[in-house]
Amino acid sequence: MKIGKLPEPVLKRAVLNQLHTRRDEVLLSAAIGEDCAALALEADEMLVLSTDPITASSEDIGSLAVQITVNDLASAGAEPIGLMVTLLLPPDTEEEEVRAVMKQMESACAAAHVEVMGGHTEVTDAVNQILLSVCGVGKVKKESLVRTGGVRPGMDILATKWIGIEGTAIIARERETELRKRFPKELVEAAKKMSDLLSVQREAEIAVMTGVSAMHDVTEGGIYGALWEFAEASGVGLTIDLRKIPIRQETIEICEHYGLNPYELISSGCMLMAAEQGDALAEALNADGIPAVIIGKATDSKDRTIVKDGEKRFLTPPNTDEIYKITG
């Protein structure tokens, strides 16, 4: 395609015609010539905003862009409403590729009941692969906003589902042929299907109802990076039992094969939570079919430690995610 804005016929066919999910709150939505979106809130509600690009995966980027942004909003206790999308395309992009990305986005939006409210599309030689950046908009009752920095000394620290979910799924898709030569077909298929576990909306809803004090979705930098950010945002220390951090066998096998540290692997689908009554929160989550376990406690020290069999290691600020050893 030629450099510049998408031609109007292509914009209509490949982008706008793929979008069908609507929200009542959205008063001004995606259309030719519209530069903005508008939405209405109740008097006791506030907006919550989040933004993320997708750069590490060339497959399913539309689905990932929606899910990751929705997860960010959910971690604040917010109900996702809509997305503003920036889609940058290299000149060799075919119209069908654009249509495929938008179909992925619409499918994920329909599942999350989120509307693409507007955005921008452009063909540019400034990128050499499709670059998708999403700004998410959500709403929350003023008294229900959950902050990453809400952890207090003595609180239980919980993790939902498993670490490495997103990274395992990405590697399984992008290195499927290699992995099938090393592992049984069932393991590779199970790893690919971990992409079905990326949403944290339901656990966030349960946590808000059960009395969570802080939440943080585990993304780039893995569980080690997320734990550091959790503690740094709250000004607390942590003591975490490494053996209690949940991890699936598929992640262990694939990470060992490629020499990756699973604790520093992108882990969307896993949510960190802090609560005064961690047992009650874990019980509520597990009763709803969402695995959750207490992995440690917040402390009034500045030390952030991982403990295994009596030995300690100190957490450091997040490193470059392990996924870039595969996709970089």
pLDDT at position 140 is 95
pLDDT at position 56 is 62
CATH number for 188? 3.90.650.10
Structure confidence by residue, pLDDT tens digits, 234-267:
999 999 999 999 999 999 999 999 999 999 999 9
Coil, helix or strand at residue 132: strand
Sequence-distant (6+) residues with CB within 8 A of 126 are: 88
Same domain for 160 and 133, yes or no, is no
Same domain for 102 and 234, yes or no, is no
Last residue of a domain, one of 81, 109, 142: 142
pLDDT at position 328 is 64
Cα 280 to the chain's mean position, in Å? 25
Same domain for 163 and 284, yes or no, is yes
Sequence-distant (6+) residues with CB within 8 A of 313 are: 305, 306
pLDDT at position 106 is 97
Name the pLDDT band for 309 (thresholds 50, 70, 90). Answer: confident
Q: Is the pLDDT of residue 110 over 70?
A: yes
What percent of the chain has a predicted confidence (pLDDT) above 90? 90
pLDDT at position 289 is 97
CATH number for 91? 3.30.1330.10
Same domain for 204 and 69, yes or no, is no
- Exposed, middle or buried: residue 195 (CB in 10 Å: 0-12, 13-18, 19+)? buried
Give the chain's domain count: 2
| H/E segment holding residue 41 | none
Using an 8 Å Cβ cutoff, are 291 and 233 in contact?
A: no
- The whole-model pTM stands at 0.90
Same domain for 223 and 90, yes or no, is no
Range of the domain at 292: 148-327
